[in-house]
Structure 1
């Protein structure tokens, strides 16, 4: 899917929330405004997660500076797990945030040329450690 507008971001997140599943979903997002590495792969990645049952999600950002995940409130889940196709990915404790903030972060990612959004707090991510 190519997201060509901010309305497209909303449609993309709505698709994550409105799927025919009852579990938490993950999608990988890349900015076409960023350079690719010599190997041809993007030099960054934004993972966007959404749980329709919880009404929460999270964002995770990776680039040459490291791996980072959103910081949520202490009331959110420990070790939240999201599904990408049939693979499960576990994230840092208490990293879930309201869907409205997920939307804001993804929109900022696109309007900033693929930079890590500044509209939320970040924590280093160790993926399941």
Structure 2
């Protein structure tokens, strides 16, 4: 089975050489690294090489995954023509927002964006195998600010 190639960025070193994700096992390894790694590297930005680039040379999309290994939850964000974040069944105990970090840069998500970590894995694998489309295995919401 052939899987599409995805480039992932979650630490400073990836600015020059992104992590390449090719298989479901690579997805699991990435999410494990986010869930067990440094607190300020618990989220990654992914771009599928299967999608077109904009005239500027930048990707036409962004898929963001976050993993909190202690609480076994995470978040998803998807941007192309519109911005979406995952929709969990209930908000967390953190109030209105939760924060995840890519290479020490914070991004706030609505608390309702947190979903079980197993679902983050499933969605990331779907993103990989679908050629970079927004995963359909999770419900989505359009955040007020994002």
Could you state the TM-score of these two structures normalised by the residue count of structure 2?
Answer: 0.81
After superposition, the Cα gap between the structure-2 partners of 1:82 and 1:127, relative to the gap in structure 1 and judged at 3 Å, is farther
- For the Cα contact (< 8 Å) 1:49–1:58, is it kept in 2? yes
> What's the CA shift for 1:22?
4.3
> What's the CA shift for 1:7?
0.9
> What's the CA shift for 1:29?
0.4
> What's the CA shift for 1:23?
6.0
- For the Cα contact (< 8 Å) 2:87–2:140, is it kept in 1? yes
1:42 aligns with 2:59: yes
Q: CA RMSD in A?
A: 1.5
> What's the CA shift for 1:28?
0.2
Hey, which of these two has a bigger chunk of helix by percent?
Answer: 2
Query: Of residues 109, 113, 116 in structure 2, which corresponds to 1:91?
Result: 109
Could you state the TM-score of these two structures normalised by the residue count of structure 1?
Answer: 0.91
The equivalent of 2:119 in structure 1 is 101
How many residues of Structure 1 are paired with residues of Structure 2 in the alignment? 126
1:58 aligns with 2:75: yes
- Off by >6 Å, runs of 4+ in structure 1: none
- For the Cα contact (< 8 Å) 1:59–1:69, is it kept in 2? yes
What is the CA–CA distance in structure 2 between the aligned matches of 1:22 and 1:35, rounded to whole Å? 33
What is the CA–CA distance in structure 2 between the aligned matches of 1:22 and 1:88, rounded to whole Å? 11
